[in-house]
């Protein structure tokens, strides 16, 4: 781990919208390459990067589309530069092929998806949370993935740094799955001194390892390979085809089994170290647990606090890490609660995941909104009163 240089970050207290905070977080994380294409409600990320990158010696490129943007940051990362792009729904869909390429080639980078109402063009200027399953399963094939969900501009800053650390640590594109409300709300953001910002860098081949013995796709004990940049003096072959530990195509079921299993297991086996949640009142037996993320978690937390003030045994679970999903925690809670209540601005995507993990031990109630507006605390509190009371009886 190392600290960033002084010139890279602003310090002190600022009032930023979430999109700007994400851009500043990327700079603080050491991002020095940004490629993107304008799209509401994520354009402010790119606009901020276009002004700030020249100030820190970085490169900003507006690409011709989202597919090219994703390809550009993959190439920059292999050149040894921390790289990021940002987009929203339709652009996120276009990036999927090259996100899959990044997963297959184990390329560290960060993608910020500021969700809006969909499908298709949908509601360009209004909120949605319907991309969370796409963040996990959007590209074809099997692979492990990491997605983070900030609930404030401060977390847009903090979790962007964390996303870069995770991408470098586990060698993959990490997705910041935020939403229009968090992206456009303005709140105080505290940026610490550079010496307090600890960063992870990709693990390099051992210094005493001869270049001819380096295997760019051989996982160690943690299943994550050491990564030499193009130009470091190692023979590096990168392909989206099924490949062996040297990186060369091998068209066999054995090679596919070995490679894809590692891509999945390097996340599954390290899930305990990756997953972050926030919880309130999850001790003891509970009549209900409210599970939420992103902007919806702000309303959900207030509703839970009101219910607890009324003496109700209600807990709150905020998903900071959506993928990998906190399966063991949800399964544990399912043994101690009557019902999960899941408010989200979609037709019940994470609610289905909660239902799967609870395995029939507790009921799951989906409070879905189709996009464009936010749940009120009163609406969630009404659900707690209705379904929590029913679970007790």
pLDDT of residue 249: 98
Integer distance in angstroms from the first to the last C-alpha of the chain? 53
Question: pLDDT confidence of 63, banded at 50, 70, 90?
Answer: very high
Whether the per-residue pLDDT at 1 is higher than 70: the answer is: no
Give yes or no for a contact between 68 and 162, defined as CB atoms under 8 angstroms apart.
no
Write the CA distances from 367 to 149, 257, 263, 325, 350, integer angstroms. 19, 39, 34, 19, 11
Compute the mean pLDDT over every residue in the chain, rounded to the nearest whole number. 95
Q: Which residues contact 122 (CB under 8 A, 6 or more apart)?
A: 89, 116, 128, 371
Q: Is 372 left (phi over 0), alpha (psi -120 to 50) or beta?
A: left
Whether the per-residue pLDDT at 369 is higher than 80: the answer is: yes
Average pLDDT rounded to a whole number, residues 361-386? 96
Average pLDDT rounded to a whole number, residues 179-206? 96
What's the pLDDT tens digit per position in 277-314? Answer: 999 999 999 999 999 999 999 999 999 999 999 999 99
Please report how the helices 327-334 and 349-358 are oriented relative to each other, as an axis angle in degrees rounded to 10: 60
Query: Could you give the CA distance from residue 383 to residue 249 in angstroms, rounded to a whole number?
Result: 54
Whether the per-residue pLDDT at 388 is higher than 50: the answer is: yes
**Domains of the chain from N-terminus onward:** 2-199 (3.40.50.970), 278-392 (3.40.50.920)
Question: pLDDT confidence of 8, banded at 50, 70, 90?
Answer: low
Give yes or no for a contact between 109 and 165, defined as CB atoms under 8 angstroms apart.
no
Question: pLDDT confidence of 389, banded at 50, 70, 90?
Answer: low
Query: Could you give the CA distance from residue 360 to residue 293 in angstroms, rounded to a whole number?
Result: 23
Q: Where are the alpha helices (DSSP H) in 106-152?
A: 132-137
Write the CA distances from 220 to 102, 203, 214, 223, 256, integer angstroms. 20, 11, 12, 5, 18
Query: Could you give the CA distance from residue 386 to residue 250 in angstroms, rounded to a whole number?
Result: 57
pLDDT of residue 12: 95
What is the pTM (predicted TM-score) of this model? 0.95
């Amino acid at each position: 781990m190392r600290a960033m240089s002084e010139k890279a970050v602003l310090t002190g207290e600022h009032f930023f919208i979430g999109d700007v905070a994400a851009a500043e977080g990327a700079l603080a994380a050491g991002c020095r390459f940004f490629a993107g294409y304008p799209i509401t409600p994520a354009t402010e990320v790119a606009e901020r990067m276009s002004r700030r990158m020249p100030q820190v010696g970085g490169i900003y490129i507006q690409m011709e589309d989202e597919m090219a943007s994703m390809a550009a940051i993959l190439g920059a990362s292999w050149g040894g530069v921390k790289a990021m792009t940002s987009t929203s729904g339709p652009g996120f869909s276009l990036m999927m092929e090259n996100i899959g390429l990044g997963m297959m080639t184990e390329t560290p980078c960060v993608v910020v998806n500021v969700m809006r109402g969909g499908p298709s063009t949908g509601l360009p200027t209004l909120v949605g949370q319907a991309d969370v399953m796409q963040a996990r399963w959007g590209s074809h094939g099997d692979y492990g993935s990491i997605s983070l969900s900030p609930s404030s501009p401060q977390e847009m800053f903090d979790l962007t740094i964390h996303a870069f650390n995770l991408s470098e640590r586990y060698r993959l594109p990490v997705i910041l799955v935020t939403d229009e409300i968090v992206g456009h709300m303005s709140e105080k953001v505290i940026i610490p001194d550079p010496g307090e910002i600890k960063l992870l860098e990709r693990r390099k081949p051992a210094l005493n390892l001869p270049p001819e013995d380096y295997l760019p796709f051989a996982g160690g004990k943690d299943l994550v390979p050491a990564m030499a940049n193009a130009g470091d003096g190692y023979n590096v072959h990168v392909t989206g085809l099924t490949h062996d530990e040297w990186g060369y195509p091998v068209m066999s079921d054995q090679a596919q089994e070995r490679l894809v299993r590692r891509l999945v297991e390097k996340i599954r086996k390290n899930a305990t170290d990756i997953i972050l949640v926030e919880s309130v009142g999850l001790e003891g037996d509970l009549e209900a647990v409210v599970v939420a993320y992103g902007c919806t978690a702000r309303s959900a937390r207030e509703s839970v606090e009101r219910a607890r003030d009324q003496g109700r045994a209600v807990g709150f679970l905020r998903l900071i890490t959506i993928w990998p999903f906190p399966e063991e925690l949800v399964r544990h809670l399912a043994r101690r609660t009557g019902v999960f209540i899941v408010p989200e601005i979609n037709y019940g995507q994470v609610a289905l995941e909660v239902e799967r993990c609870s395995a029939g031990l507790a009921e799951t109630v989906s409070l879905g909104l189709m996009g464009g507006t936010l749940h009120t605390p009163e609406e969630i509190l009404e659900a707690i009163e209705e379904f929590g009371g029913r679970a007790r009886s």
